[in-house]
Amino acid sequence: MAPKLSVLDQSPVISGQTPAQAIAATLKLARAAEALGYHRYWLAEHHAIAALADPCPEVLLARLGAETRRLRLGTGGVLLPYYSPFKVAEVFRMLEALYPGRVDLGIGRAPGGDARTAHAVGGGQMPTADDFPQRVWEVVGHLDGTLPEDHPHRHVRLQPGGETAPEVWLLGSSDYSGALAAQMGLRFAFAHFINPRGGDAVTRAYRERFRPSSREATPAALVCVFVICAETDAQAERLAASIDLRRLHMALNLDTPVPTLAEAESHAYTEEERRYVRAQRERAVIGGPQRCRDALLALAERYAAEEVMALTITGDEASRLRSYELLAAAFGLA
């Protein structure tokens, strides 16, 4: 069977546009993703980055739920080291009450961003992932009402209650979260777009070591990959120039919006920069519809994943939307 196909949206800010325009583009893309037949739509949390507009995906999810009817909605992910597990559980209980049976709580371990930003988001304290397993356990315990009697918050009422609960996914780009997801009996998503090496072994190990839980009787895995799909391989390769330059800017610690295609094509690369950009292509699938379909099917098989999540960023809103349209057609969605 072909894998399910889903969307990760980082709400990219294109050069010359505002963050508000990026959020409007996210709303438009979510509506399109539902019409095209995508399975789920996740939003990522990023702070103080010029190229990415969404610092609070849980707020934007509340709007997306009203914009859609069928699409599963979630986070890829909430950066749990910053937050109270109880408060995270409250927020997602509220989202579940608004959109029952459609909400995913994707949890990330890395605090993300530079130290100054992390200190600000953490309320003057530096977040740490040292107690991440405890925090995940508490979030799930609050959501499901399964905290033990001796836990200090066992009898604190979590509102709003309901018959359904969000799906909980652990996100990772190394073996840490995969091992924890297997141990706790949770769903697991591997970020191939961050780390293209070794993820297949991590995901297969997750399946082998999975312990059934009250939430999940069997393992569930997805792989998230960067994708640019265009009418032809050559057109897709041209569109990829924007993300090539964006990745170079990141490597050089340049906090800039996503370059337009014109800006990217005007950049004069040094040979060292070209080598760096080529090395980053392992994270991505770039090509026409058939090439993208074949590559994503192979990736899903390699990862033993039931689902592929596509992250697409280009130098303009229209080509990003077109990429998702072509991908949906290639997989026979809708």
**DSSP line for 192-209:** TTT--SSHHHHHHHHHHH
Identify the band that residue 334 occupies on the pLDDT scale cut at 50, 70 and 90: confident
Phi, psi of 221 (to 5 degrees): -130, 145
Tens digit of pLDDT for each residue in 38-74? 999 999 999 999 999 999 999 999 999 999 999 999 9
Domains defined for the chain, CATH in brackets: 4-330 (3.20.20.30)
Checking if the pLDDT of 111 tops 80, the result is no
Residue pair 128/81 in contact (Cβ under 8 Å)? The answer is yes
Count CA within 13 A, CB hemisphere, residue 330: 23
CA distances (Å), origin 296, targets 142, 192, 206, 284, 307: 36, 12, 20, 10, 10
Mean pLDDT score across all residues of the chain: 96
- Tell me how far apart the alpha carbons of residues 332 and 238 are, in angstroms, rounded to a whole number: 25
Per-residue pLDDT band at 129 (split at 50, 70, 90):
confident
Number of other CB atoms surrounding residue 84 within 10 Å: 14
List the Cα angle 222/223/228 in 5-degree steps: 130
Q: How confident is the model at residue 127 (pLDDT cuts 50, 70, 90)?
A: confident
Q: What is the pLDDT of residue 7?
A: 98
pTM, to two decimals: 0.96
Residue 276's pLDDT is: 97
pLDDT surpasses 90 at 113: no
Number of other residues whose CB lies within 10 A of the CB of residue 218: 8
DSSP 52: B
Two tokens, residue 275: 């080598």
SS3 146: coil
| pLDDT score at 302 | 97
Q: Model confidence over 204-253: pLDDT tens digits?
A: 999 999 999 999 999 999 999 999 999 999 999 999 999 999 999 999 99
Please name the residues in contact with 241: beta carbons below 8 A apart, sequence gap of 6 or more: 261, 264, 265, 315
CA-CA distance, 131 to 108, in Å (whole number)?
A: 13
Q: How much is the pLDDT for 179?
A: 97
List of long-range contacts for 121-124, beta carbons under 8 Å, 24+ apart = 121/47, 121/82, 122/82
Which pLDDT score is estimated for 162? 87
104-126 in b/e form (b: 16+ CB < 10 A) is bbbbbbbbbbeeebbeebbeeee
Residue 14 DSSP symbol: B
Please give the pLDDT value at position 112: 64
To the nearest whole percent, how much of the chain has pLDDT over 90?
92
pLDDT digits (tens, 9 = 90+) for 149-204: 999 999 999 999 888 999 999 999 999 999 999 999 999 999 999 999 999 999 99
Give the Å distances, CA to CA, from 43 to 27, 148, 171, 313. 11, 32, 13, 13
Q: Is the model's pLDDT at 323 over the cut of 70?
A: yes
Summarised one tens digit per residue, pLDDT across range 16-30 is: 999 999 999 999 999
| Size (the chain), residues | 334
Is there a contact between 167 and 75 (Cβ–Cβ < 8 Å)? no
Place of tokens 């010359």: 16
Mean pLDDT over 75-98 rounds to 96
